[in-house]
Structure 1
Amino acid sequence: KGQSQKFSAMILIWTFGLLACSMANEYDYVSFQSDIGSYQSGRFYTKPPQCVNIPEDLRLCHNVGYNKMVLPNLLDHETMAEVKQQASSWVPLWNKNCHAGLQVFLCSLFAPVCLDRPIFPCRWLCESVRDACEPIMRYFGFYWPEMLKCDKFPQNDVCIAMTSPNATEPTKPQEKEKCFSCSTKL
């Protein structure tokens, strides 16, 4: 009986180990590669990015103008649960209407549109949103987060620019635009 119980326990542990491995996060960090360029972190994943439907309960981005997003997103969130949890913390600020481009800016990062390569928001869009919304955030004791630091975003490359409804040109910053490719519509 003793050997049989040990054998059964080993089989149970082995089965549990296999089950745990199969339930592991579907994107595992493999290594650092600075030449990938797909994600700012320089990390790449064992599985390629996947296009998934933007769920209705992702309130911030559900009606953003497209139906599919890529996971992992541009903030390195690998699961929809993580995206929903992190994005939900921005809904109260979005409800304050501090900047017309806040939703476009945040959703370009939390729920990026499925394309051949990631397109980040323009630096000037980030700066404009930050300058308009950070005073409201500070009033409630929050500061602009490091993960959204505007100097991380492109100013001389293709990037997401906010467009107004029925507009033919992207909304531009008040000063003269410095980046021709930033004004390129997707």
Structure 2
Amino acid sequence: MSRGPGSLLLLALAAHCCLGSARGLFLFGQPDFSYKRSNCKPIPANLQLCHGIEYQNMRLPNLLGHETMKEVLEQAGAWIPLVMKQCHPDTKKFLCSLFAPVCLDDLDETIQPCHSLCVQVKDRCAPVMSAFGFPWPDMLECDRFPQDNDLCIPLASGDHLLPATEE
């Protein structure tokens, strides 16, 4: 099977991000004191994955265990091809909530994406990744994320609703 430039970028995504260092892929399950080490940083202009999102400050370490902006920038770039495939309108929102989690001065805890946001993005984007020979990465498994009734980043309004039928 011949692979084009898009698939090479997805290959880089899998090799660099998904198979990368196993140390601290997630902050999930760690005691609350781990959040006290976090701090707010402006989202850098060169974090292309998160251009145009609705907030300006991100928390480090992020939800993928990246502790430096350099790590974030190196890893996030590999996901741009998936966003460009437009498999789901909230793909960027989901990925940015992991790579550049929203940081509010008044809140010590990290706001994660909601379970439903993950499920919707996974349902539409996992087949795209699979078409290029890449499985949905374990580090993005939706069971890790809180239910929608918790403090979390939801789907854009209406994305989870079925379209109305004309009568």
Q: Which of 54, 60, 82 is residue 71 of structure 1 equivalent to?
A: 60
Is 2:160 the partner of 1:173?
yes
Count of equivalent residues: 133
* C-alpha spacing 1:97/1:104, structure 2 compared with 1 (3 Å): same
The letter for the 2-side match of 1:131 is D
Q: Which of 4, 19, 30 is residue 42 of structure 1 equivalent to?
A: 30
Shift of 1:87: 1.0
So what's the TM-score if we normalise by structure 2? 0.72
Distance in 1, Cα, partners of 2:30 & 2:102:
20
The one of the two structures with greater contact order (alpha-carbon pairs below 8 A, sep at least 6) is: 2
Structure ID, larger Rg: 1
* Aligned alpha-carbon RMSD (Å): 2.3
Find the counterpart in structure 2 of residue 119 from structure 1.
111
Shift of 1:172: 4.7
Find the counterpart in structure 1 of residue 127 from structure 2.
135
Contact kept? 2:59, 2:102, Cα under 8 Å = yes
- Structure 1 residue runs without a partner (length 5+): 1-28, 30-38, 164-169, 176-186
Is 2:51 the partner of 1:62?
yes
State the 4+ residue runs in structure 1 displaced beyond 4 angstroms. 43-47
User: What secondary structure, in the 3-state scheme, does the structure 2 residue paired with 1:89 have?
Assistant: helix
User: What secondary structure, in the 3-state scheme, does the structure 2 residue paired with 1:42 have?
Assistant: coil
Q: Which of 47, 72, 84 is residue 95 of structure 1 equivalent to?
A: 84
Shift of 1:47: 7.0
**Which whole-Å deviations, capped at 9, do the CAs of 1:114-169 have from their partners, x for residues lacking one?**
12121111111101000100111011111111111001111141210132xxxxxx
Find the counterpart in structure 2 of residue 179 from structure 1.
none
* C-alpha spacing 1:88/1:41, structure 2 compared with 1 (3 Å): farther
The letter for the 2-side match of 1:107 is C
Shift of 1:59: 0.3
- Structure 2 residue runs without a partner (length 5+): 1-22, 163-167
Contact kept? 1:56, 1:62, Cα under 8 Å = yes
